């Protein structure tokens, strides 16, 4: 019997497949089906800072202060004694998931500003989360902001949260850092237990009919796993942090490659959204088959076996592969001639 | 000490009514609405009554419906109540007779309000209650929020014991909306007051199949009369029963009341008799006068019906020589108002019996529609009583220069009690939170100190840019001052809006050596220089401390956007000195916790931060010593205005309406059109700027403008030769017009509300910068002067020939002059564009019947009128009858128009020889469906009048008098969904069922907007509204579909923000259809809970999601053999969820009742699909056979 277990943020998981933050965790039944399908842990959908801010604005403007100075009406909607804010709803859902699921549940915070995290973090710890995923969805668009300042923003947030919660924290990062390994080291020093690589910025599109920006969701593709494979390979063995691979896992192939590169866990979302919980079972079985065929005994055995540790100079190797790939590309016949 | 509460009269009453009742049937009406809303909110929170059950709260379709439901509940054994006022009370009268006739215990709580006569008024007097004198209900008057609470319990105890139903009333607004610190009546007290035996007896009388009886027989001359007399003993006993309840209440609470409470000198010579809040002011004045050696008193009437003359006589000192009885109502044509006549009768009978000498008794009217009633006026009445020959009938509080009935009064008279109070006055904008902050401050002071507290709020007649003035009083002794803070009394005056310094007499209320707090963007050292001379002079003369704060800057910095209420409240506590500063700050923060704590810690923190920042940023401004130099600038001469506007409109607008004498006012409530243009409210911070180089002249900006503040006009280029230099105009792009025709899109900078809807509607993007459109918002300050001149020039341009314009296109129709402009509607209102459109197309021939509601308020609320006239002086003739009868009212207009047209035709035929055969024939047979036909007919009528003037025919003058009716009139029946779906549905249905040519425009906001967002039958499933706190459980009524079932009614739904071309088409088709037409128009409203900037986007979403399908049903098509049903919107391309999630009215339910929200969402989706499919099926149905003759 192959040992699929892995360590994730100090938690022992039965296998490395963990559904990442997605709408799938909004519904208790869906979460139970994921558990039945073999998920080793569950990252909840993200609690978005913007959502809380928008809710506050709605509350303030349309419920608490809707008066317009006319004698016949000083409000337009009934004020609710039992109005639950976003955090309360999230916490109570987390509580419910914890009560019904046996696998660990990770709460996910997604935000941009340096305020407000302390309250959120504390509340989620109280609600029973096993760990916190901190997704700093920050697009560094300010031309005055230096790379250091961008890095510092992440570290400050983490430090602030670390101060008040004792839960394991995993930071979900974007790939856009001048020196990702350095950022990871700072994150480790600031007290996190893991990093998840990488979050996917939902990139705005242009609507040619309306001439406006749109923000339609594009699910990931397997191609996207390549970026993760590289950076996990580069980081494996050089940090004590849990390495979680997220983005682009659509079959056992990507999952296995990521484990070989050094991932401790592999997150799944797009493939589950598209194909349902059975996909998780299928990937798990596929991984097991592949490992059996090649007589691997455990995930631990294969994890990182193809990481930078087996290469002399990871950055040189990376560069070499870049040159090789570009040079090897030849256009389709007929394109140029 | 009993617990105190700082609440308004309505909440105080609702608390008691809720505890002691089981069924509460209501209908919203100002100023009683909030009582029902409280009850509904408590029920939705599961709060229980005395017997551990949650009362059933039911909103009915009208007050008549509520009364019927109450009657049924009462006769079936429940304890039931309701809250109402004014027209609502009138609608209950038939049932009140029944309920009383059947000796049913019941209390109706009434926030007494004026009745609509020459005009509607939402304000307080006792006309409504007086109209119920004969119903058989007892009438019990409370004079203050404390008494309103106490009497709510006493009334219920008495009605249970004595079986006479009680109308418990208190003055609308002055008591219903006054926030005061009162001693709470606790649940145990209510329990101890209500006799379980009496409740059991009520239950035992209930209709029951277990022991059936029959009630409500029809009686004949033999026994009806005797039966009426049979109830006499109950009325005879009732005063004693009420007095017993009062005494029991006194034992329980220490607050003792009598049927007639006398206050004043035991040996008084002059006494005023009255009931309601004015009695408190009278007592305050009596105390003051007696302290100066006068012998005066006030007799407060508590129980007015049954009228206990013996109790009145017993309460009135034997020494009284002169009595003034004051009525807060008017009975035109009577030789005195009701209370006066009752008192006269009581005294005369006593005198006749020899029980006491007959004093002089006079009667006066006061306080109609919340007219102020001050100590100065009370003193004037006492002074009149001192006269050897006092006027038998008088009025007080107005200047009657016509019939000379009014008493003069000393406006500078102040009482000792008033001088011992601290007064504070706050000027704010309706939307800036000033009122809510002040309510909060009163609560803080009421709860944190032993001080008595009172707050009263004066609102605006506008819904956009409305000004509020808050009047707060604090003091150690009970506050009896039921009148506004008087001039020179306020130790603290705050101006929360910088632009007010030039507009209002902010410091009229300020007391010498007081404090003036100003919110200004100017730094403290420059603040003085920004003030106008008049304000500076008053600051110096009154030796005021001037304090400045830049509240908007702090709000922005603290992350609170433009919310300044907490900041200004902090300033008040920091400098008014009513509480020690530190204590006050702790109390404000505590209040912030209470408001936001359970809902958002982030908002708590933001407010905390704002409070701390405010304390650091509040500065005292140095006032230069010495006299203020005179203003060197010469005021620009005022533009000439019509006499009516000069004499009436502008004084009202400037807040001087109280000073207008009787003779100045129209006798019958008839007002000229077109006066809104003179207000120039200047409330926009940004206005649209037209970019002619980008503009395609599509007209959409004009179409969507809710305030008619952006317009387009055609003119010959020559006409613009003298244009101001910044006036923009370009050649018209359309080839329809003669060469050299120019077009301008012009903003009215002083009338725009800055909603930005025009920019959102603009379909044009600069190809190099998509953010730049053909119209863009820009700060008003640098533009105002130029654009004012430009707009004035624009209006002077000659009207373009309407016959050259295509009325059926958006660009064309938007070139037609609007005859509805600058209304007081909310910024971004979704209703007004429909009305403006109708006036552009048909305004010169419109007769409008307008149901009470938002559209009658922004359409006809003084001081000004937005309906206006064209160059020829023609325009919509508008009237509002009631809320419930609008369809019938409009039908009456149609009947009159049709009859008088027929009559005029008949006379024309009779006078054909004098008139000329051809002309007569043309006049009688004119086709006037289209505008060209109407124009031709008007020319014929002119010719007719010309010939008639030379005619010697004996009926020539008769024809001349009705000749104008030969021109077809376009009758429009306009109202909201509250009218059309609920209270007026019976009448609407009846008018639809007839064949008369009326155009019915339903402005469907899906909620009662005007009274503050109560559920109507137009409210969609899953929407939260008042009385649907847990989400409306049923789908909205499909009014358009129901009307189309008749087959002969033209019916259409419209949503201009989704499909303006369809809307335009619908208006043309409806108007041209020679039978009843119904347009159900989707109207975004602030009650939906989103920024009205997105008004059009939400309409689009409503249509695209299937929430609001667009269709037209045209019976003319059926007659021509085609399918009359045309579906104008495509199959839903968005889920209903996308629509619902974007509006707070739906989105909040996911926060309060998530599971229900999810279920409603699913049902709403099903409902949208079901409706669309049904419509699609109808649209695809093969046409019926053409009717014969078609």
Helix %, strand %, coil % for chain A, to 5?
45, 15, 40
Is the pLDDT at B1130 greater than 90, yes or no?
yes
3-state secondary structure of B719: helix
B1067 contacts B803 by C-beta, under 8 angstroms? no
Give domain B677-817's CATH architecture.
2-Layer Sandwich (3.30)
Write the pLDDT tens digit of every residue in B23-53. 999 999 999 999 999 999 999 889 999 999 9
Facing B460 at nearest CB: one of A58, A70, A74: A70
Facing A82 at nearest CB: one of B595, B1086, B1152: B1152
Output the CATH code of domain B4-253.
3.40.50.970
B694 contacts B773 by C-beta, under 8 angstroms? yes
Which residues form the domain of A154? 6-69+81-203+218-328
Are A78 and B468 an interchain contact pair (Cβ–Cβ within 8 Å)? no
Asked if B1009 is an interface residue toward chain A (Cβ–Cβ < 8 A), one would say yes
**Segments in B647-783 forming alpha helices (H):** 650-653, 700-704, 757-761
Residue A313 maps to a domain: yes
pLDDT band for position A186 (50/70/90)? Answer: very high
What pLDDT was estimated at residue B1190?
38
Are B429 and A69 an interchain contact pair (Cβ–Cβ within 8 Å)? yes
Is the pLDDT at B128 greater than 60, yes or no?
yes
Encode B1040-1062 in three state secondary structure: HHHHHCCCCCEEEEECCCCCHHH
Facing B1010 at nearest CB: one of A53, A55, A73: A73
Give domain B260-407's CATH architecture.
3-Layer(aba) Sandwich (3.40)
Write the pLDDT tens digit of every residue in B838-869. 999 999 999 999 999 999 999 999 999 999 99
B278 contacts B482 by C-beta, under 8 angstroms? yes
Facing A70 at nearest CB: one of B466, B599, B1029: B466
Q: Is B423 exposed, middle or buried (0-12, 13-18, 19+ CB in 10 A)?
A: buried
Consecutive H or E run containing A73? none
What pLDDT was estimated at residue A337?
55
Asked if B726 is an interface residue toward chain A (Cβ–Cβ < 8 A), one would say no
Are A69 and B460 an interchain contact pair (Cβ–Cβ within 8 Å)? yes
Mutate to test the interface with B, among A58, A61, A78 (most CBs of B within 10 A): A78
Lowest mean pLDDT among B436-440, B701-705, B852-856: B436-440
Mean pLDDT of chain B: 95
What pLDDT was estimated at residue B1189?
42
Distance from CA of B465 to the nearest CA of A (A): 8
Residues of chain B within CATH 3.30.70.20 domain(s) are 677-817
User: Whole-angstrom Cα distance, residue B602 to residue A87?
Assistant: 11
Closest residue of chain A to B824, computed from CA coordinates: A70
Structure tokens at B756: 């930005």
User: Whole-angstrom Cα distance, residue B852 to residue B122?
Assistant: 11
Which residues on B lie below 8 Å from A84 (Cβ)? 1151-1152, 1154
Percent pLDDT > 90 in chain B is: 90
Mutate to test the interface with B, among A26, A70, A124 (most CBs of B within 10 A): A70
Facing A67 at nearest CB: one of B435, B461, B1145: B435
Which residues on A lie below 8 Å from B561 (Cβ)? 57
The arithmetic mean of pLDDT across residues A92-109, rounded, is 94
Which residues of chain A have a Cβ shorter than 8 Å from any chain B Cβ?
52-53, 55-60, 62-85, 89, 116, 119, 211-212
Residue B966 DSSP label: G
Are B1148 and A76 an interchain contact pair (Cβ–Cβ within 8 Å)? no
Q: CA nearest B609: which of B656, B649, B560? A: B560
Closest residue of chain B to A123, computed from CA coordinates: B601
Are A71 and B1089 an interchain contact pair (Cβ–Cβ within 8 Å)? no
Are A58 and B431 an interchain contact pair (Cβ–Cβ within 8 Å)? no
Q: Is A70 exposed, middle or buried (0-12, 13-18, 19+ CB in 10 A)?
A: buried
Closest residue of chain A to B177, computed from CA coordinates: A71
pLDDT band for position A336 (50/70/90)? Answer: low
Mutate to test the interface with B, among A56, A68, A214 (most CBs of B within 10 A): A68
Is the pLDDT at B1185 greater than 60, yes or no?
no
Lowest mean pLDDT among A213-222, B88-97, B897-906: A213-222
Are A66 and B1086 an interchain contact pair (Cβ–Cβ within 8 Å)? yes
Asked if B37 is an interface residue toward chain A (Cβ–Cβ < 8 A), one would say yes
Distance from CA of A69 to the nearest CA of B (A): 3
Total tally of structural domains belonging to chain A: 1
Closest residue of chain B to A61, computed from CA coordinates: B1089
Give the number of beta-carbon pairs within 8 Å between A and B.
146
Give the residue numbers of B annotated as catalytic, written as ranges. 30, 63, 113, 1010
Other CB atoms closer than 10 Å to residue A325's CB: what's the count? 9
Asked if B45 is an interface residue toward chain A (Cβ–Cβ < 8 A), one would say yes
Residue A212 maps to a domain: no
Facing B600 at nearest CB: one of A56, A62, A68: A56
Identify which has the larger pLDDT, B615 or B431: B615
Sequence-separated (6 or more) residues with CB below 8 Å from residue A244: A8, A18, A170, A194, A195, A196, A197, A263, A264, A265, A266, A267
Percent pLDDT > 70 in chain B is: 99
Residues of chain B within CATH 3.40.50.970 domain(s) are 4-253, 1006-1180
Lowest mean pLDDT among B765-769, B944-948, B1127-1131, B1162-1166: B765-769
Percent pLDDT > 70 in chain A is: 89
B206 contacts B38 by C-beta, under 8 angstroms? no
3-state secondary structure of B138: strand
Which residues on B lie below 8 Å from A52 (Cβ)? 600, 602
Asked if B774 is an interface residue toward chain A (Cβ–Cβ < 8 A), one would say no
Strands B467-475 and B422-429: antiparallel
Domain B1006-1180 has CATH 3.40.50.620: no
Q: What is the CA radius of gyration of chain A?
A: 22
Closest residue of chain B to A69, computed from CA coordinates: B430
Cβ-count burial B98-137 (b if 16+ within 10 Å, e if not): bbbbbbbbbbbbbbbbbbbeeebbbbbbbbbbbbbeebbb
Distance from CA of B1012 to the nearest CA of A (A): 4
Which residues on B lie below 8 Å from A57 (Cβ)? 561
Residue A334 maps to a domain: no
* CATH number of the CATH domain containing A296: 3.20.20.70
User: Whole-angstrom Cα distance, residue B54 to residue B45?
Assistant: 9
Write the pLDDT tens digit of every residue in A194-211. 999 998 877 788 888 877
Which residues on B lie below 8 Å from A204 (Cβ)? none
Residue A268 maps to a domain: yes
Distance from CA of B494 to the nearest CA of A (A): 17
Q: CA nearest B596: which of B573, B571, B618, B563? A: B563
B residues 593-612 lying closer than 8 A (beta carbon) to A: 595-596, 598-603
Residue A28 maps to a domain: yes
Distance from CA of B993 to the nearest CA of A (A): 34
Distance from CA of B532 to the nearest CA of A (A): 26
Write the pLDDT tens digit of every residue in B55-84. 999 999 999 999 999 999 999 999 999 999
The arithmetic mean of pLDDT across residues B968-987, rounded, is 98
Structure tokens at B111: 């926030």
What pLDDT was estimated at residue A89?
87
User: Whole-angstrom Cα distance, residue B21 to residue A243?
Assistant: 65
CATH T-level fold of B420-621: Pyruvate-ferredoxin Oxidoreductase; domain 3 (3.40.920)
Distance from CA of A160 to the nearest CA of B (A): 17
Structure tokens at B764: 């044009």
Mean pLDDT of chain A: 87
């Amino acid at each position: 019997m192959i040992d699929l277990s892995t360590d994730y943020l100090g938690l022992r998981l039965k296998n490395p497949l963990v559904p990442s933050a997605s709408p799938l965790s909004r519904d208790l039944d869906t979460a139970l089906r994921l558990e039945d399908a073999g998920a080793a842990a569950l990252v909840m959908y993200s609690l978005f800072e913007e959502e809380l801010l928008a809710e506050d604005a709605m509350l303030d403007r349309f419920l608490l202060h809707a008066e317009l100075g006319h004698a016949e009406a000083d409000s337009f909607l009934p004020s609710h004694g039992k109005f639950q804010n976003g955090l309360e709803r999230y916490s109570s859902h987390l509580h419910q998931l914890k009560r019904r699921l046996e696998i660990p549940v990770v709460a996910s915070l997604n935000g941009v500003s340096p305020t407000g995290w302390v309250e959120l973090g504390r509340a989620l710890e109280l609600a029973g989360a096993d760990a916190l995923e901190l997704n700093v969805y920050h697009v560094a668009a300010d031309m005055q902001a230096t790379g250091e300042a961008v890095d510092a923003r992440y570290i400050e947030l983490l430090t602030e949260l670390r101060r008040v919660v004792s839960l394991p924290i995993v930071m979900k990062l974007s790939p856009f850092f001048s020196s990702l390994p350095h950022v990871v080291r700072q994150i480790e020093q600031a007290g996190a237990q893991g990093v998840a690589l990488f979050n996917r910025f939902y990139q705005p599109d242009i609507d040619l009919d309306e001439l406006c920006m749109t923000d339609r969701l594009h699910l990931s593709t397997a191609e996207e796993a390549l970026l993760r494979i590289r950076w996990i390979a580069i980081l494996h063995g050089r940090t004590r942090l849990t390495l979680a691979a997220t983005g682009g896992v659509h079959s056992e192939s990507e999952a296995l490659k990521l484990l070989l590169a050094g991932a401790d866990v592999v997150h799944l979302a797009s493939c589950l959204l598209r194909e349902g919980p059975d996909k998780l079972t299928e990937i798990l079985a596929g991984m097991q088959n592949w490992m059996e065929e090649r007589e691997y005994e455990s995930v631990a055995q294969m994890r990182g076996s193809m990481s930078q540790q087996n290469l002399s100079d990871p950055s040189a190797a990376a560069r070499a592969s870049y040159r090789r790939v570009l040079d090897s590309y030849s256009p389709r016949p007929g394109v140029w001639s | 000490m009993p617990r105190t509460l700082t609440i308004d009269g309505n909440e105080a009453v609702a608390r008691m009514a809720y505890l002691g009742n089981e069924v509460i049937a209501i209908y919203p009406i100002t100023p009683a609405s909030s009582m029902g809303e409280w009850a509904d909110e408590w029920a939705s929170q599961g709060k229980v009554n005395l017997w551990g059950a949650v009362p059933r709260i039911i909103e009915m379709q009208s007050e008549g419906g509520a009364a019927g439901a109450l009657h049924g509940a009462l006769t079936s054994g429940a304890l039931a109540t309701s809250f109402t006022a004014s027209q609502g009370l009138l609608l209950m009268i038939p049932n009140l007779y029944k309920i009383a006739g059947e000796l049913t215990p019941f209390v109706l709580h009434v926030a007494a309000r004026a009745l609509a006569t020459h005009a509607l008024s939402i304000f307080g007097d006792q006309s409504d209650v007086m109209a119920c004198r004969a119903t058989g209900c007892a009438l019990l008057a409370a004079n203050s929020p404390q008494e309103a609470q106490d009497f709510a319990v006493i009334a219920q105890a008495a009605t249970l014991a004595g079986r006479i139903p009680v109308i418990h009333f208190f003055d609308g607004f002055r008591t219903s909306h006054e926030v005061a610190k009162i001693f709470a009546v606790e649940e145990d007290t209510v329990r101890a007051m209500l006799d379980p035996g009496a409740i059991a007896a009520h239950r035992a009388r209930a209709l029951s199949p277990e022991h059936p009886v029959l009630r409500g027989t029809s009686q004949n001359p033999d026994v009806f009369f005797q039966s009426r007399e049979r109830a006499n003993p109950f009325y005879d006993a009732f005063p004693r029963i009420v007095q017993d309840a009062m005494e029991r209440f006194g034992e329980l609470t220490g607050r003792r009341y009598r049927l007639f409470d006398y206050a004043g000198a035991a040996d008084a010579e002059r006494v005023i008799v009255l009931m309601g809040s004015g009695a408190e002011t009278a007592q305050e004045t009596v105390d003051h006068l007696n302290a100066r050696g006068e012998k005066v008193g006030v007799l407060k009437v508590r129980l007015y019906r049954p009228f206990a003359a013996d109790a009145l006589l017993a309460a009135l000192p034997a020494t009284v020589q002169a009595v003034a009885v004051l009525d807060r109502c008017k009975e035109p044509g009577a030789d005195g108002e009701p209370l006066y006549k009752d008192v006269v009768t009581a005294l005369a009978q006593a005198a006749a019996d020899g029980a006491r000498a007959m004093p002089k008794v006079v009667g006066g009217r006061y306080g109609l529609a919340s007219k102020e009633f001050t100590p100065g006026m009370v003193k004037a009445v006492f002074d009149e009583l001192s006269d050897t020959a006092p006027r038998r009938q008088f009025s007080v509080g107005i200047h009657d220069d016509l019939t000379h009935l009014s008493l003069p009064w000393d406006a500078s008279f102040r009482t000792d009690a008033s001088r011992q109070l601290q007064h504070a006055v706050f000027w704010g904008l309706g939307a800036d939170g000033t009122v809510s902050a002040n309510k909060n401050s009163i609560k803080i002071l009421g709860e944190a100190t032993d001080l008595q507290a009172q707050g009263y709020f004066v609102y605006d007649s506008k819904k956009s840019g409305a000004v509020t003035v808050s009047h707060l009083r604090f003091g150690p002794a009970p506050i009896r001052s039921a009148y506004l803070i008087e001039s020179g009394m306020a130790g603290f005056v705050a101006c929360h809006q910088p632009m007010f310094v030039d507009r209002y007499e902010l410091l009229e209320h300020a007391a010498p050596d007081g404090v003036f707090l100003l919110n200004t963007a100017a730094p403290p050292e420059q603040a003085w220089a920004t003030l106008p001379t008049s304000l500076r002079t008053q600051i110096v003369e009154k030796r005021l401390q001037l304090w400045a704060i830049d509240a908007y800057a702090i709000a922005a910095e603290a992350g609170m956007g433009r919310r300044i209420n907490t900041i200004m409240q902090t300033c008040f506590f920091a400098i008014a000195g009513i509480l020690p500063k530190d204590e006050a700050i702790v109390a404000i923060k505590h209040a912030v916790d209470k408001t936001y704590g359970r809902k958002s810690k982030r908002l708590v923190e933001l407010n905390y931060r704002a409070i701390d920042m405010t304390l650091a940023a509040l500065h005292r401004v140095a006032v230069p010593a010495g006299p203020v130099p005179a203003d060197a600038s010469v005021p620009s001469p005022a533009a000439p205005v019509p006499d009516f506007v000069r004499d009436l409109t502008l004084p009202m607008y400037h807040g001087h309406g109280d000073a207008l004498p009787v003779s100045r006012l129209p006798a019958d409530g008839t007002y000229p059109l077109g006066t809104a243009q003179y207000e120039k409210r200047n409330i926009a911070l940004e206005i649209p700027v037209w970019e002619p180089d980008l503009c395609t002249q599509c007209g959409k900006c004009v179409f969507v403008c809710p305030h008619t503040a952006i317009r387009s006009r055609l003119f010959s280029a020559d006409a613009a030769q003298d244009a101001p230099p910044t006036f923009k105009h370009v050649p018209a792009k359309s080839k329809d017009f003669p060469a050299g025709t120019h077009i301008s899109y012009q903003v009215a900078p002083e009338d725009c509300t800055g909603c930005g809807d025009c920019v959102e509607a603009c379909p044009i993007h600069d190809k190099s910068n998509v953010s730049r459109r053909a119209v863009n918002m820009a700060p008003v300050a640098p533009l105002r002067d130029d654009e004012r001149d430009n707009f004035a020039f624009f209006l002077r341009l000659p009207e373009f020939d309407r016959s050259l314009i295509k009325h059926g296109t958006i660009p064309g129709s938007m070139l037609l002059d609007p005859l509805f402009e600058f209304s007081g509607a909310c910024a971004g209102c979704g209703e007004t564009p429909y009305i403006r459109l109708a006036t552009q197309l048909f305004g010169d021939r419109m007769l409008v019947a307008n149901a009470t509601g938002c559209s009658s308020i922004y359409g006809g609320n003084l001081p000004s009128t937005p309906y206006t006239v064209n160059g020829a002086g023609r325009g919509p003739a508008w009237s509002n009858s009631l809320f419930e009868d609008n369809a019938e009212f409009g039908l009456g207009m149609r009947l009159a128009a049709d009859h008088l047209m027929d009559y005029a035709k008949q006379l024309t035929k009779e006078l054909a020889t004098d008139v000329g055969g051809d002309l007569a024939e043309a006049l009688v047979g004119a086709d006037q469906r289209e505008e060209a036909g109407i124009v031709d007919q008007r020319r014929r009528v002119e010719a007719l009048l010309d010939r008639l003037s030379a005619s010697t025919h004996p009926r020539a003058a008769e024809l001349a008098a009705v000749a104008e009716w030969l021109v077809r009139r376009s009758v429009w029946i306009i109202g909201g969904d509250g009218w059309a779906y609920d209270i007026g549905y019976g009448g609407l249905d009846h008018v639809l069922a007839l064949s008369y040519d009326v155009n019915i425009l339903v402005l469907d906001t899906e909620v009662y907007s005007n009274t503050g967002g109560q559920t109507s039958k137009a409210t969609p499933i899953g929407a939260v509204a008042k009385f649907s706190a847990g989400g409306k459980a049923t789908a909205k009524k499909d009014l358009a579909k129901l009307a189309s079932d008749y087959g002969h009614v033209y019916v259409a739904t419209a949503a201009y923000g989704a499909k303006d071309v369809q809307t335009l088409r619908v208006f043309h088709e409806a108007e041209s259809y020679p039978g009843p037409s119904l347009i159900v128009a989707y109207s975004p409203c602030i009650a939906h809970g989103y920024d009205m900037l997105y008004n059009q986007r939400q309409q689009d979403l409503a249509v695209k999601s299937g929430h609001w399908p667009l269709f037209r049903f045209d019976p003319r098509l059926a007659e021509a053999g085609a399918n009359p049903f045309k579906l104008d919107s495509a199959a839903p391309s968005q889920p209903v969820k996308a629509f619902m999630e974007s509006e707070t009215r739906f989105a909040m339910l996911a926060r309060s009742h998530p599971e229900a929200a999810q279920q409603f969402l699913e049902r709403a989706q099903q409902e949208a699909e079901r409706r669309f499919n049904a419509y699609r099926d109808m649209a695809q149905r093969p046409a019926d056979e053409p009717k014969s003759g078609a």
